[in-house]
Amino acid sequence: MTDAALLEVLMAITGPQGVLHEAADLAPYLKEWRGKYRSTAGIVVRPGSTAEVAAVVKLCAERGIGVVPQGGNTGLCGGAVAEAGQILLSTDRLARIREVDAEGDHMTVEAGVILAQVQAVAEAADRLFPLSLGAEGSCRIGGNLSTNAGGTAVLRYGNARDLVLGLEVVLPDGQVWDGLRALRKDNTGYDLKQLFIGAEGTLGIITAAVLKLFPRPRSVEAALVGVPDPAAAVALFGRARAEAGGSVTGVELMPRLAIDFALRHVAGVVDPMAEPHPWYVLLELSSPAADAPLAERLEAILAGGLEAGLVVDAAIAASEAQRKAFWHIREAIVEGQRFEGGAIKHDIAVPVAKVPEFLGRATALSEAMVPGVRVVGFGHLGDGNIHFNLNQPVGADREAFMARWEEIAHRVHDIVADLDGSISAEHGVGLLKRDEIAERKSPVEIELMRRIKQAIDPAGIMNPGKMVRT
């Protein structure tokens, strides 16, 4: 089939607005934002309905054409990169909110709805959809589910996979699995939805989902806390859990250097404390009850922490604006780093108690490997998830530094493995870590993954080459 003939058949399925093939139209879909990969596919299809997705996939199955699903194209591991000859299938026109059932605490949305819109629709119904992450203004919920996104609310509400009641999936042969259930309990077979969540589109394309909603927090208290070191941060987290249990909804760890970068480069970032501290914890308590005594509790946690030498200084947000300003510091870290030259990034998790050991060993290693490297290890302490990022030494050659990514990452990941951790806590596998997980996981586990891939996608057309080699 010629490209022209293929375009014609695709247009017959989706209408002309659903098929892009001019370079200028393709550009935003082909670009990968870290610049590590570049798609070379010549066709982007944008189906407007589940039926259109199914028809496109069926066509591709019949002709043996690889299909690469793409949501908001904000992924960090090359999971949505399509090669020449493959079709890039964007979900950006699958953008309907199908149902909001506030009483039943769930909503049904199509894959292409932007995460921030999901949050806003939930809020308009006086509910919370808790998934929250840096890219929420442009990532799409289908991509969040396909990559089992994490973010800042995992400690209390779980990862993306914990927020789903049901799924609709277009399978690799073009059949549609309608698993759009809104049930809290259903033990009538294998939990198929958990197989597609986090599968990065290698087993099918999620086209819609029933999402769990939660009561909105009506009391929120936050503090930015200066602490001497990561061990103190872990101990402070332990105290917070003991004092406030499920009300602890945010525990982010940041080194001073991260704050410096944010202050230097990002508008609106203000240091609320007079003196700098080596490490910071952003600690947030929240409750759906309007009269929860969270302020007293937060003060008690901090007072106890001061007494125990875990806390050097702390600023409690006196207003909603100040609370948002604290989160703005946290969110500005990634942007701040961009202005400091090349950065080699890791997304790791270890058991929470081992975070200090990880940071100590990985920092020492990095400084030994690259004298002058600037270590920015920050992230979701409550989940043991650290974004261990290395900014190049001041004045160093960017290309030469970045060329060492694999060499350094491998050694950092050796430490992670030694601590029984994960080398991809929340960003996934894609192309970036496919071969490394194959090396690090047991042959038994890789064989199980291959068998599942083979069972669901025997022709290998769904997001070929991502996550697991077949």
* Positions in 142-201 near a second copy (CB under 8 A): 147-148, 150, 154-155, 158-159, 161-162, 171, 175-179, 181-192, 194-195, 197-199
Residues 6+ apart with CB under 8 A from 73: 28, 29, 31, 32, 33, 80, 138
Rounded to 10 deg, the angle between the 355-369 and 230-244 helix axes is 160
Q: Which of residues 394-423 bind a second copy (CB under 8 A)?
A: 420-423
Provide DSSP, 60-109: HHHHT--EEEESSS--SSSTT---TTSEEEE-TT---EEEEETTTTEEEE
Max Cα separation, the chain?
74
DSSP E strands, 151-258: 164-170, 176-179, 205-212, 214-215, 219-227, 248-255
Q: Name the DSSP letter for residue 246.
A: G
Choices 23-31, 220-228, 240-248, 329-337 (CB under 8 A): range interacting with a second copy? 240-248
Site pattern 205..224 for a second copy (x: CB under 8 A): ---------xx---------
Choices 9-17, 113-121, 220-228, 429-437 (CB under 8 A): range interacting with a second copy? 429-437
Q: Which of residues 301-330 bind a second copy (CB under 8 A)?
A: none
Please state, in angstroms and rounded to a whole number, the distance separating the CA atoms of residues 123 and 129.
Answer: 8
Among 15, 85, 137, 246, contact with a second copy (rule: CB under 8 A): 246
Please state, in angstroms and rounded to a whole number, the distance separating the CA atoms of residues 365 and 144.
Answer: 33
Q: Name the DSSP letter for residue 180.
A: -
Please state, in angstroms and rounded to a whole number, the distance separating the CA atoms of residues 299 and 347.
Answer: 32
Residues 6+ apart with CB under 8 A from 1: 9, 63
CB 187, min distance to a second copy, A? 5
Choices 49-57, 129-137, 313-321, 434-442 (CB under 8 A): range interacting with a second copy? 434-442
User: By the 8 A CB rule, do 428 and 75 touch?
Assistant: yes
Q: Which of residues 340-359 bind a second copy (CB under 8 A)?
A: 349-353
Regarding 428 and contact with a second copy (CB under 8 A), the answer is yes
CB 256, min distance to a second copy, A? 25
Regarding 58 and contact with a second copy (CB under 8 A), the answer is no
Residues 6+ apart with CB under 8 A from 359: 230, 377, 386, 388
Regarding 230 and contact with a second copy (CB under 8 A), the answer is no
CB 116, min distance to a second copy, A? 22
CB 301, min distance to a second copy, A? 11
CB 87, min distance to a second copy, A? 23
Cβ atoms within 10 A of the Cβ of 273, count? 15
CB 350, min distance to a second copy, A? 7
Among 38, 445, 469, 470, contact with a second copy (rule: CB under 8 A): 445
Choices 224-232, 255-263, 314-322, 439-447 (CB under 8 A): range interacting with a second copy? 439-447
Choices 81-89, 272-280, 326-334, 375-383 (CB under 8 A): range interacting with a second copy? 375-383
Q: Which of residues 92-151 bind a second copy (CB under 8 A)?
A: 101, 103-105, 147-148, 150
Query: What is the size of the binding site for a second copy (CB under 8 A)?
Result: 89
CB 379, min distance to a second copy, A? 10
Please state, in angstroms and rounded to a whole number, the distance separating the CA atoms of residues 281 and 379.
Answer: 10
Q: Which of residues 21-50 bind a second copy (CB under 8 A)?
A: none
Choices 4-12, 255-263, 367-375, 425-433 (CB under 8 A): range interacting with a second copy? 425-433
Regarding 231 and contact with a second copy (CB under 8 A), the answer is no
Q: Name which of 41 and 352 has its Cβ closer to a second copy.
A: 352
Two tokens, residue 252: 């982010």
110 beta partners: 208
